[in-house]
Chains A and B, each alone.
Chain A
């Protein structure tokens, strides 16, 4: 049982390049999330999904797109990377969204945009 996994772990991009971050979970969770974490800013929600085939915007969605074609996978895309997107990206999943539904986090992807 691997929990939540993310690939890649590290990536360096040049401004304008595109890339896709992959998140996979093996806990049969309905809900999946993408966060970014910046120094002094805490974790901020980018996009989330409440089930296969559905996605919704979070607090900071601009410049990102997501897709949830399979229940176990949640992809985060950057179409044209900008230096402001240099960050650590965390994926998380949960069985629900109530007060007792814990979110489980992946190990993170450290992205640098030059």
Chain B
């Protein structure tokens, strides 16, 4: 089975940096995704990590340590529009040549002035 943990809520100040952690326990791990979801909207893709290390995309970076079962999403120069839920999701082998994506419960980030 899969077990994915991330904090329920976080608050950060506009212009600051925030780190959202995700830990997972899974068999057949293949990769890790981060999605952003604004209230009342669909999740949208932010990043994925397959190998250990840091992936940078503009103000957003994501880190993965496969040996530790740990990832984080780093948001720099926070803007009010970054207020959203951030979903950590793990893809793992589910048999018959396919992989399944399992989501954590999400971290609701509130950016305050």
A interface residues with partner B (beta carbon < 8 Å): 35, 40-45, 48, 50, 58-59, 90, 97-100, 102-108
Contacts and interface: CB of A to CB of B under 8 A. Distances in A.
Contact of B98 (A50, A104, A106): A50
Contacts of A43: 43, 87, 89, 103
Interface stretch (B11-19, B44-52, B68-76): B44-52
Contacts of B106: 42
B60 interface: no
A44 B102 CA distance: 7
Nearest to A98: B99
A100 B51 CA distance: 11
A102 B48 contact: yes
Interface residues of B, number: 23
B101 interface: yes
Interface in B91-107: 91, 98-106
Contact of B87 (A42, A44, A45, A107): A42
A108 B42 contact: yes
A106 B100 contact: no
Contacts of A41: 105
Residue in A41, A45, A102 with the greatest tally of chain B CB atoms within 10 Å: A102
B30 interface: yes
Contact of A106 (B42, B101, B103, B105): B42
Nearest to B104: A42
